[in-house]
Structure 1
Amino acid sequence: MFGAGSIGCFVGGCWQAAGLDVRFIGRKGFADDIRRNGMTVSDYNGWQKSFAPDEVDYRVDPDALADADVIALCVKSGATEEAAKEIAAHGRPGTTVISFQNGISNVEVLERQLADRFIVVRGMVPYNVAYLGDGRFHKGVAGDLYAGDMPVTQALAKAIGTSPATLNLSDDMLGIAWGKLLINLNNAVNALSGRPLVEQLLQRDYRRVVAASQREGVKLLKRAGIEPAKVGAVGPALLPTVIGSPDWLFRNLFMKAWKIDEKARSSMADDLAAGRKTEVDYINGELVRLADRLGVDAPVNRKVVELIRKAESGAPPLPPAALRREVLGR
């Protein structure tokens, strides 16, 4: 697990619980935490597995990539190019690299730098993982991992088996990546709200902003001839209608169908809280760049990117109506 933060630790912990030989490579802060407290992974169904400190192989040196059979890449999107250089320098030629990252363009970066010596595979993580401190990583939203269907991922999926980090395979990973990106447009709104995921989703003004950004995204993808796949219970065409639906319908039907617990929050919210640069350029920004290539505008997603930039510089969270006015002008 290269770039083992919240997602990498949760997924790797689940895979280790399934019997795989897992090594984690990440930041010194996580290494120190796990050295003190061990690692505990849990999910919204009450499943939990704990490892003592000496049972977790967590390192900070990328030299540890040298004997990996599979490298699950979980670094933030802005660090993809540097991670590719580390893999090229330390990884074993022929190793499979699975990008479990947000956005679309990371795989293109990896292929440019690695495709001549490594097998690059697109992956997808549909859920949020909250870092709760003291070595605890909690999956608060339903969903399963996906990766491209090939012999090495078939063997990996079989070894993982049934798990909170089960791996599903698909021949349409680009469609799945775009479908997931449309869902991830909520990440920025969650971050701008300063609220837990459930609390944010229960406010229709926040959801109206998300729905508008998704509607804009669906139109752009159609114009570009890109077919996003259905990720989760609702397909891309219907997703903005569901998200923007009246409170009585959203609360009583859709929120009851989606498994989201009170600990869940978006990774972008975590980044803002920690004072880190967010991945907005690889989520809403992907649609802005697509619009630029098509010679059209994407005013909703462009405005969301602008507001996240202000939040990264210290702007306070926005209440529901204020965010709606800022983005939608009404």
Structure 2
Amino acid sequence: MGETQGRSGAPRIVVAGAGSIGCFVGGLFARSGQDVTLLLRAGTAEEITQNGLTLTDFGALDAALAPDRFAMSTDPACLAAADIVLVTVKSGATEEMAAQIAAHAPAEAVVVSLQNGVENAALLQEMLPGWDVRAGMVPFNVVWVGGGRFHRGTSGDIIIESGQGHVGRQLNVPDLHVHEHGDIAAVQWGKLLINLNNALNALSGLPLREQIGDRDWRRLMAAQMAEALAVLQAADVAFQNPVAKVPMELVPRILRLPTWVFRLVAKTMLLIDPNARSSMWEDLEKGRGTEIDELQGKIVRLARQANVAAPINAGLAEMIREVEVLGAGAPNLTAQEVQSRLRTLDAPADGEV
């Protein structure tokens, strides 16, 4: 396959399911002059039509785009014009989006999953046999502030699966770097390990930087990550750190360090917007279902297959599901309250797992 491109010479990109991540990356593509269509919900389209699209981050990014800089549609028929389809829906909507792609997009389009978890690309491939489907990893989080503003609170480069053509190069634009990788599965598993903190952050209600600066929360982070690492090792699953050169196996030890030492050793972990929170926190605040089944839930399922225990991840998954049912937003618990609740669920809670 050669470079994918439309009549203008640039690839025609459709962001399928444009929410927080989709509107942010789609907006950066549009700012760079790419041919972009956002496939989104009617309410999102109305908000952006009225306010335009504003993209900010904790660095110097502050870009305002008028709605005429890109196309928007609520009709999946817009997929018919796609050279590249970027899937950015929540995991639970992957099957529905795959069906829409199959019905409307050209079979030669490249489909890239920019979703959390490790199973979405496989589901897309299953439902789109013969298509060029690639997994991807987005390391940063984006908060939908409202009024057409989308704010990136953490850093990192997008990584997509290697393949024919130069898809990564075509998606690489200012303020959004995209690289291709030959072992995307290991990268995704590494990202999943990092994303396990989404649940703890959602339970805390704290900004990520404040949470990570608290040793009690870091001990909980370390405990669940160490448990998950043991599960992956028992299941013979390869993983690698997608955002730093530090081996994932060392991260729990770093998290357990006294705070003054941690701040010296882990400076890159603290390069976070002071107000940034996890996407799972945002889901709870907005009364949406979370991706807990694709994070802690995946570790628990893998643990069963490998015949090992994962009580901390199971306990945290149960706590998030309870909060989802209540529908009252993030519970703003302390680390000690989470520890106490884990004890009632028979999960170790001393942070020394």
Q: TM-score, normalised by structure 2?
A: 0.89
Please give the residue correspondences for 1:116-265 in structure 2 after superposition, counting only pairs within 5 Å: 116=130, 118-152=131-165, 154=166, 156-233=167-244, 234-255=246-267, 258-265=270-277
Q: TM-score, normalised by structure 1?
A: 0.95
Q: Secondary structure at the match of 1:23?
A: strand
Q: Do 1:38 and 1:56's aligned partners in 2 also have CA atoms closer than 8 Å?
A: no
The C-alpha deviation readout for 1:216-268, integer Å capped at 9, x for no partner, is: 11111111111201212232111111223222222344246642012311111
Counterpart in 2 of 1:106?
120
Counterpart in 1 of 2:334?
319
Q: Secondary structure at the match of 2:303?
A: helix
Q: Where has structure 1 moved over 4 Å in runs of 4 or more? A: none
Pair 1:39-2:53 in alignment: yes
Distance in 2, matches of 1:329 and 1:167, equals: 38
Q: Secondary structure at the match of 1:163?
A: coil
Distance in 1, matches of 2:139 and 2:281, equals: 16
Gaps spanning 5+ residues in structure 2: where? 1-14, 343-347
How many residue pairs were aligned?
Answer: 327
Q: Do 1:218 and 1:237's aligned partners in 2 also have CA atoms closer than 8 Å?
A: yes
Cα distance change on mapping 1:205 and 1:177 into 2, 3 Å: same
AA at the equivalent of 2:189? W
Q: Secondary structure at the match of 1:66?
A: helix
Distance in 2, matches of 1:18 and 1:267, equals: 26
The C-alpha deviation readout for 1:101-139, integer Å capped at 9, x for no partner, is: 1001112211111123x2110000011111111111111
Q: Secondary structure at the match of 2:312?
A: helix
How far apart are residue 301 of structure 1 and its match?
0.5
AA at the equivalent of 1:6? S
Counterpart in 1 of 2:318?
306
Q: Do 1:43 and 1:164's aligned partners in 2 also have CA atoms closer than 8 Å?
A: no
- Report % sequence identity: 41
AA at the equivalent of 2:248? P
Root-mean-square deviation (CA), in Å? 1.6
Pair 1:115-2:115 in alignment: no
Q: Secondary structure at the match of 2:64?
A: strand
AA at the equivalent of 2:140? Y
